Amino acid sequence: MAVGGDTGAVVFYPAGRDLLAWSERHAAGSAPDRWPYGLDRLDAHLPRVAAQNLPDPSAAARALRRIASIVPPPRRRGRPAGVTWDENAGMLLATTPGLRARYSGVVWLTDSVMRRGGAPFQGMRRALRRLDGLWVLSDAQVAPLTAFLGDGAPPVHYVRFGVDSEFFRHAPSPTRPLVVSVGGDRDRDPKTLLRAMATVRAARPDVEIVVQSTTDLDPPDGVIVVPYLTHAELRDLYASASVVAIATRPNLHVSGMTVGLEAMATGRPLVITRTPGMDDYFGGTTAARMVDVGDADALARETLAVLDDPASEALGDAARAHVEAGYTTTHLAGRIAEVISAR
């Protein structure tokens, strides 16, 4: 697929992502940012930024990409740079012609290699080595990804994540105690979370608890589990919460940071598992408390401490200020623009 037009950058999304529908939801106030991950905000830093879908990865297309991967497409001066969010899209970007350079984020690869070894990911390694620059969302990923890619690979940059603080706006403090937990990625820890929530309910039967998760574990009495929430429903749930609690397994990609930042943008204190890189996101603020991996007792204890804190409104203000100071999609786009401009 050739790229046309005199643009500074083209942001490529997977074939199944309906960019028009996303933009329409954003215009209606029901989705954050005009494009996913706020990459539309690159237009404040780069001239003529456009969005486009990657080709559908059909069997025929995969065969063509294998052929193209033998001789990577040339870098075309005067053409746009290509940008993708994660390594799966980055593999397609590696063989997309008509670009002057190619840049991608890497999200899950470091954890996959750590758990399974590098052998299953050699195809991805070859593809990523053909790009011009990569970024990760945790400083703990930089060294292992650099080592896995080897000498001669593109530079790996640490880029802090951000959320749409206009969509996840600061909400007044709730009038009823509610604990919320959100997220079902592969590194969430529902077992520890639900054990902690059982303890919270035993100590404070008046507290409501809502967990968004696809777990098949039976929730404790008084804990409501919902499998899915739209962005608008999620925003409203944060606004109703007294505190947001997140439990994760060991990981390098800072699982839980998106929910944590969205909740804090809404003005909600956070209790979250400390994993490598988490301090960069939630250290240095009274609005976030971190506990050890798998420690359900500590997660419950810190959640109860926030619920019982008479200064909860001040914690909410501190949470919002923390996000505004450096963790919005405006900040994120600026950091990605620096990666593109660094070459």
CA distance 117 to 112: 7
- What pLDDT was estimated at residue 233? 98
Q: In Å, what is the CA distance from 223 to each residue of 65, 126, 227, 256?
A: 48, 46, 13, 20
Residue pLDDT, tens place only, 167-206:
999 999 999 999 999 998 999 999 999 999 999 999 999 9
In a domain, 170, yes or no: no
Same domain for 199 and 85: no
In a domain, 36, yes or no: yes
In a domain, 244, yes or no: yes
Same domain for 294 and 315: yes
Domains identified in the chain, total number? 2
Specify the CATH number for the domain of residue 276: 3.40.50.2000
Residue pLDDT, tens place only, 257-305:
999 999 999 999 999 999 999 999 999 999 999 999 999 999 999 999 9
Band the pLDDT of 157: cuts 50, 70, 90. very high
Same domain for 60 and 13: yes
CA distance 306 to 271: 9
- Comparing 223-227, 290-294, 311-315, the range with the smallest average pLDDT is 311-315
In a domain, 169, yes or no: no
Same domain for 62 and 147: yes
- Comparing 72-81, 147-156, 201-210, 251-260, the range with the smallest average pLDDT is 72-81
- What pLDDT was estimated at residue 52? 95
- What pLDDT was estimated at residue 72? 61
Same domain for 314 and 337: no
Is residue 20 within a helix (H) or strand (E), and if so which, with residue range? helix 19-27
Structural domain containing residue 289: 178-324
**Residue 142, pLDDT above cutoff 90:** yes
Same domain for 133 and 106: yes
- What pLDDT was estimated at residue 312? 86
Is residue 82 within a helix (H) or strand (E), and if so which, with residue range? strand 81-84
Helix, strand, or coil (residue 151)? coil
The answer to whether 43 and 11 have CB atoms below 8 angstroms apart is no
In a domain, 320, yes or no: yes
Band the pLDDT of 55: cuts 50, 70, 90. confident
- What pLDDT was estimated at residue 89? 96
Band the pLDDT of 127: cuts 50, 70, 90. very high
